Structure 1
Amino acid sequence: MSRRPSGLSRRLGDGAPVPFTGSLHPKSRPSPFLSIGLVLLGAFLIIGYLYNSASGRDSFHTLRFQAVGSSCTSEIFQALPYLKNAYGDSMRKILHVGPDTCTVVSRLLREDDTEAWGVEPYDLDDADAKCNSLVRKGIVRVSDIKFPLPYRSKSFSLVIVSDALDYLSPKYLNKTLPELARVSSHGFIIFSGYPGQRTFKVDELSKFGRPAKLRSATWWIRFFVQSKIEENEDAIKKFELAAAKKHYQSGCQIFHLKSFI
């Protein structure tokens, strides 16, 4: 951001006469050397600003893209290879919970030996033909996750939830997290945004009913402890090791949690 030089003004007392320019002493006129120096200084500042802008343009746009358009649901596709390393055969029967679950389920169904189902927490007013087909077959269900999930206990080996819990208050999280643990047999995974990372469009407020509350890792871990939900340390280590080998860094927070025994 450029700084505007503040103008200097001469304070005049009330009733004090204003001197005519002709009465000013010749030495009060600005020196030509001073003017040249100011011009050169301004040129150097402009060149330096343009250089810094050019060198930092790519990183600025990258951060801006992540801040405005990022989605933890789309992050699942990036993390999928590392999830396979962490969970192995447990990736064969998956339930995804969150917005755009039709896209996630369709992608998972293309994986070898993988069964996938989905829960869409919000209305599917703009669903395409493929998504409507998944709903008709019962593969995808529209269900308010503030209430018990429409599945029996341990119906799935693994549950993945994204971009859904950020819209729930602690009151409802106390009900939803145990449900995610109940319907899974080998654990559940939460993809959540970082605080201050993303901004949401106005039309999302009408769909979700409230703005997202992006919470810190410290907040989530404290909440897990209070809810007596344990982190899956074994899965965490395997996931982080596989991700480190490929220099993968998630744009979202990823929590690996155990199912209730």
Structure 2
Amino acid sequence: MSRRSVNPGRRMSDGGLPSVGGLLHSKSRSPRVLTIALLVLGVIVLIAYFNSGPGVTVNSREAFTRSEGSCTSEVIQALPYLKKAYGNDMQKVLHVGPDSCTVVSNLLKEGKIEAWGVEPYDLEDADSSCKSLVRKGFVRMSDIKFPLPYRPDSFNLVVVSDALDYLTPRYLNKTLPDLARVSTDGLVIFTGNPGQQKAKISELPKFGRPAKLRSSSWWTRYFIQTGLTENEGPLKKFEQAASKNNYKPDCQIFHLST
């Protein structure tokens, strides 16, 4: 097919952008530029609206979860203290969050713990050991904005990390009660700490919605509104064990009764 000739009036300037003279003097182009500007403004307003809410925005979910600020990495560090806090209540554990394969693998090494995981994000880049856990059914992908594929009281303990930070209150109202539904003895929730933000923000977002790092007081009020109370016994044991070993978590950790 013959190539269509290029309109000289629509050529770009040397820098790759429309020339200033063209923008100022081309009557035919002005309405189009105005329309594009209005569309861009509308998109910005919509993005701001859907991401509105309390907290500090992290531009990259992947950067947050894979950087030093990862609360899933914090779960691995906290496992010895969780075992001392919950004891026999850690017989059957469900982890919900990114990199669930790593958490499940560490729990299964204990021998006496049944461990299962829910990965709310893509597993395309998973390594062979993670794919093996998925094939065996220990870890599965599931959108946590919808009911989890488990019966009520399926687990003694449910541990959540790097997941609730990415939900708006609208979805939290559904997800949090569902997490409580599948647990008999409690929830342990790891959330990002606005006061200790370590995430890199230079990477482009890969998984859509950015995180909202909400304060401890915000979460406490929300838990009360949802009908969840602080699990005082395990909380005290956890704090004692952590203090004895000078362990100071970077993430916020909430121990809740279900």
TM-score (norm 2): 0.71
Q: Which residue is equivalent to 1:152?
A: 151
Q: Which structure shows the bigger proportion of residues in helix conformation?
A: 1
Q: Which residue is equivalent to 2:206?
A: 206
Q: Which residue is equivalent to 2:80?
A: 81
Q: Which residue is equivalent to 1:127?
A: 126
* Aligned-partner Cα distance in 2 for 1:93–1:177: 19
Matches within 5 A, 1:52-131: 69-131=68-130
Structure 1: segments with no counterpart, 5+ residues: 1-67
Cα gap change, 1:126 to 1:252, in 2 (>3 Å): same
Q: Is the 8 A contact 1:99 1:162 kept in 2?
A: yes
The alpha-carbon deviation at position 92 of structure 1 amounts to 1.6
Number of equivalenced pairs:
192
* Structure of greater Rg: 1
Percent sequence identity over matched residues? 65
TM-score (norm 1): 0.71
Residue deviations 1:64-96 (CA, integer Å, cap 9, x gap)? xxxx63211011121111111110011121100
Cα gap change, 1:204 to 1:146, in 2 (>3 Å): farther
- Equivalent position amino acid for 1:206 in 2: K
- Equivalent position amino acid for 1:84 in 2: K
* Aligned-partner Cα distance in 2 for 1:98–1:173: 14
The alpha-carbon deviation at position 200 of structure 1 amounts to 4.4
The alpha-carbon deviation at position 226 of structure 1 amounts to 0.9
Matches within 5 A, 1:144-223: 144-196=143-195, 197-201=197-201, 205-207=205-207, 209-223=208-222
* Aligned-partner Cα distance in 2 for 1:78–1:102: 15
Cα gap change, 1:241 to 1:111, in 2 (>3 Å): same
* Aligned-partner Cα distance in 2 for 1:204–1:143: 24
Alignment RMSD: 1.6
What SS does structure 2 have at the residue aligned with 1:206?
Answer: coil
- Equivalent position amino acid for 1:76 in 2: V
* Aligned-partner Cα distance in 2 for 1:74–1:244: 19
* Aligned-partner Cα distance in 2 for 1:75–1:162: 9
Cα gap change, 1:204 to 1:187, in 2 (>3 Å): farther
Q: Is the 8 A contact 1:200 1:211 kept in 2?
A: no
Structure 2: segments with no counterpart, 5+ residues: 1-66
- Equivalent position amino acid for 2:251 in 1: C
Cα gap change, 1:180 to 1:82, in 2 (>3 Å): same
Q: Is the 8 A contact 1:167 1:212 kept in 2?
A: yes
